[in-house]
C-alpha cells in the first residue's frame, strides 16, 4: 500500500512509541485492522444504523432480488443474440457495453424503464465514458474536447430522461420502479426532493458501477477463453452438461458452474478494470516503522496485487485451477482484489459475478467464437480512470449446432 500525500516525502517514519500513542488494532501477521473495529468500539449504534440504511438503499442487490435478476439477464442476452444472425463479427467491447447497459438498467432500475431505452442511450454513455480521464481529478472543467463531449452527452441524457418522466407522469404505472419512487419524494414544503438533473446523476452512477466495468470484464473473459482453447473447451463442456436437461438459466444454476466462475475470476485478476483504489486515512495508521497521518490518501493497485507471485505462483499465466478446491488462491486476505476488500468492498460484486455468469451461460451455449485479429493485439487502454479494452477488439461468431447430450 502506498501513500498519496500532497507533496513528496510526507509519509514519515513513525515517531517514538511514547509519542505515537496507542497503535491501531492488528490482525495476525502484522496486518493493521482499522476503521470498522474502532468505530464498532466507539459508536456501535451509529455503525449498525448506517449499515442498515445502506442495506435499504441497495435492495436490488439483495439475495431475494438477485434470484429474479438471473432470468432477466438471460432474457436480455437472448434479445441481443437475436440480432446476431447465424454468423458474423462483432466488436466485443461495443457488444458487451450495449448488452450490460440493458441488463443493468432492467435489474437496477426496472424492466419498464429498460423498455424505454433506445440505441441512443448507448451512444450517449459512450460519449460520457470518454470524459473519465485522470485529469478530471485535477480539474474536471478544463476546456478539453473529451470534457465538452461528456457535458453535451450529459445534457442529452437529461433530455432523454425528462421525456421518460413526462410520459410516466401522464400515464402512471401500476408497478412503481426506482425512478417513480425518486420522483415522488417531496421536501417538507412540498417541492420535489430531487431534480431531473440530480436523478440523471444517480442514473449515471448506477450505470457506471453496474455496466462500465462489467462490459470490459465480459470482453476479457471471452478473449482469454479464446486465447486458451483448452480452458474454453472446459467451460463450454461444463455449460453443455449443466443445461443438457433443458433447464433455464436460474440463480441456482449459476451457483453450479465453477469452471466459468474461475474463468471470470482469472480475467478479473489479469485485467482488473480499476488499476487504483483510493481510501482516506481516518486515524493515524501505523505499520512497522511507518506512520500515515490521518487525512492523507492511500492507494493500492489491483493490477499489482493480483500478480504478486507470493500469492499467485507464475502470476502471468492464465490458470483456471487457481481457484479450485485445495488451491483457492483468491481466498488469501487482500490478495485478489478486483472488487476491493474490507468494509468498502464493492457492494455489487455478487451482482457482477452473477450477471457475467448468466450472460455466458446463454451466449456460449448458442454461439462459438474465434479471435478476428492477432491474439497479442488485444490490449487495455489505460488512458481513462476505468481501464477498458483498446478498440478494435473484434471476434467472429457462428451459431453452434445443438449441444449433444452427454
pLDDT averaged over every residue in the chain: 81
Residue 43: its pLDDT value, please?
52
Q: Is 254 exposed, middle or buried (0-12, 13-18, 19+ CB in 10 A)?
A: buried
pLDDT tier at 210, thresholds 50, 70, 90: low
CB-CB contact of 373 with 91 (8 Å): no
pLDDT at site 75: 93
Decide if pLDDT at 120 tops 70.
yes
Please, which pLDDT band fits residue 66 given cuts at 50, 70 and 90?
A: low
Query: DSSP class of residue 24?
Result: P
N residues, the chain: 406
pLDDT tens per residue, range 68-106? 788 899 999 999 999 999 999 999 999 999 999 899 888
* Segment of 7-16, 36-45, 202-211, 244-253 carrying the highest mean pLDDT: 244-253
Digit-coded pLDDT (tens) for 314-348 = 999 999 999 999 999 998 888 899 988 887 888 78
Residue 65: per-residue pLDDT = 62
**What is the 3-state composition of the chain as percent helix, strand, coil, each rounded to the nearest 5?**
55, 10, 35
Q: Are 2 and 298 in contact (CB under 8 A)?
A: yes
Cell numbers that stand for 162 in this block: 425528462
What confidence score (pLDDT) does residue 52 get?
Answer: 43
Selected residue with higher pLDDT from 3 and 227 = 227
Read off the pLDDT of residues 285-294 as tens digits, 9 standing for 90 and up: 888 888 888 8
pLDDT higher than threshold 50 for residue 10: no
Whether residue 215 has pLDDT greater than 60:
yes
Per-residue pLDDT averaged across 54-65, rounded? 51
Q: Is the pLDDT of residue 25 over 60?
A: no
Domain 2-7+61-112+213-399: homologous superfamily in CATH: Cytochrome P450 (1.10.630.10)
What are the tens digits of pLDDT across the range 365-395?
A: 999 999 999 999 999 988 777 788 899 999 9
Residue 47 pLDDT grade (very low, low, confident, very high; cuts 50, 70, 90): very low
Count of Cβ atoms closer than 10 Å to residue 390 Cβ? 14
C-alpha cell at 344: 468498502
Domain borders along the chain are 2-7+61-112+213-399
Q: Is the pLDDT of residue 155 over 80?
A: yes
The CA distances from residue 5 to 298, 305, 374, in Å, are 8, 21, 42
Report the predicted TM-score, pTM, of the whole model to 2 decimal places.
0.80
Q: What is the mean pLDDT of residues 29-39?
A: 40
pLDDT 10s digits, 236-266? 999 999 998 888 888 777 788 999 999 999 9
> Looking at per-residue confidence, does 297 or 251 come out higher?
297
**pLDDT score, position 74:** 92
Range of weakest confidence among 227-231, 264-268, 272-276, 391-395: 272-276
DSSP 247-295: PPP-TTGGGG-HHHHHHHHHHHHHS-SBS-EEEE--S-EEETTEEE-TT
The residues that bridge with 13 in the sheet, in sequence order, are 290
Q: Can you tell me the distance from the alpha carbon of 173 to that of 195, in angstroms, rounded to the nearest whole number? A: 20
pLDDT at res. 368? 96
Q: Report long-range pairs for 53-59 (Cβ below 8 Å, ≥24 apart).
A: 54/347, 58/347
Q: At 179, is the pLDDT very low, low, confident or very high (cuts 50, 70, 90)?
A: confident
Amino acid at each position: 500500500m502506498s501513500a498519496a500525500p500532497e507533496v513528496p516525502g510526507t509519509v514519515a517514519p513513525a515517531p517514538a512509541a511514547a509519542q505515537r500513542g496507542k497503535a491501531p488494532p492488528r490482525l495476525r501477521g502484522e496486518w493493521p485492522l482499522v476503521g470498522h473495529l474502532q468505530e464498532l468500539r466507539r459508536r456501535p449504534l451509529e455503525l449498525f444504523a448506517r449499515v442498515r440504511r445502506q442495506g435499504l438503499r441497495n435492495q436490488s442487490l439483495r439475495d431475494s432480488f438477485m434470484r429474479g435478476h438471473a432470468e432477466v439477464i438471460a432474457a436480455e442476452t437472448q434479445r441481443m443474440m437475436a440480432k446476431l444472425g447465424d454468423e458474423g463479427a462483432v466488436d466485443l467491447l461495443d457488444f458487451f457495453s450495449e448488452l450490460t447497459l440493458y441488463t443493468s438498467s432492467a435489474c437496477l432500475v426496472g424492466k419498464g424503464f429498460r423498455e424505454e431505452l433506445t440505441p441512443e442511450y448507448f451512444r450517449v454513455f459512450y460519449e460520457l465514458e470518454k470524459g473519465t480521464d485522470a485529469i478530471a481529478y485535477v480539474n474536471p472543467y478544463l476546456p478539453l474536447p473529451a470534457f465538452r463531449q461528456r457535458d453535451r452527452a450529459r445534457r442529452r441524457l437529461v433530455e432523454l430522461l425528462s421525456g421518460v418522466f413526462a410520459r410516466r407522469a401522464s400515464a402512471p404505472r401500476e408497478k412503481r420502479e426506482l425512478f417513480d419512487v425518486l420522483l415522488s419524494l417531496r421536501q417538507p414544503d412540498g417541492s420535489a426532493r430531487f431534480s431531473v438533473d440530480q436523478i440523471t446523476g444517480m442514473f449515471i452512477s448506477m450505470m457506471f458501477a453496474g455496466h462500465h466495468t462489467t462490459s470490459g470484464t465480459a470482453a476479457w473473459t471471452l478473449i482469454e477463453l479464446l486465447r486458451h482453447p483448452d480452458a474454453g473447451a472446459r467451460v463450454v463442456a461444463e455449460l453443455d452438461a449443466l443445461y443438457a436437461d433443458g433447464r433455464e438459466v436460474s440463480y441456482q444454476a449459476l451457483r453450479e458452474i465453477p469452471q466459468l466462475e474461475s474463468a471470470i475470476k482469472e480475467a478479473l485478476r489479469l485485467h482488473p478494470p480499476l488499476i487504483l483504489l483510493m481510501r482516506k486515512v481516518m486515524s493515524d495508521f501505523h505499520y512497522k516503522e511507518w506512520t500515515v497521518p490521518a487525512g492523507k490518501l492511500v492507494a493500492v493497485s489491483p493490477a499489482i496485487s493480483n500478480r504478486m507471485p507470493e500469492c499467485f505462483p507464475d502470476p502471468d499465466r492464465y490458470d483456471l485451477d487457481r481457484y479450485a478446491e485445495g488451491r483457492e488462491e483468491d481466498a488469501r486476505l487482500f490478495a485478489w482484489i478486483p472488487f476491493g476488500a474490507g468494509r468498502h468492498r464493492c457492494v455489487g460484486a455478487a451482482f457482477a459475478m452473477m450477471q457475467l455468469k448468466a450472460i455466458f451461460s446463454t451466449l456460449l451455449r448458442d454461439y462459438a467464437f474465434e479471435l478476428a485479429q492477432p491474439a497479442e493485439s488485444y490490449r487495455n487502454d489505460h488512458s481513462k480512470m476505468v481501464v477498458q479494452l483498446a478498440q478494435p477488439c473484434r471476434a467472429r461468431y457462428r451459431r453452434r449446432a445443438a449441444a449433444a447430450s452427454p
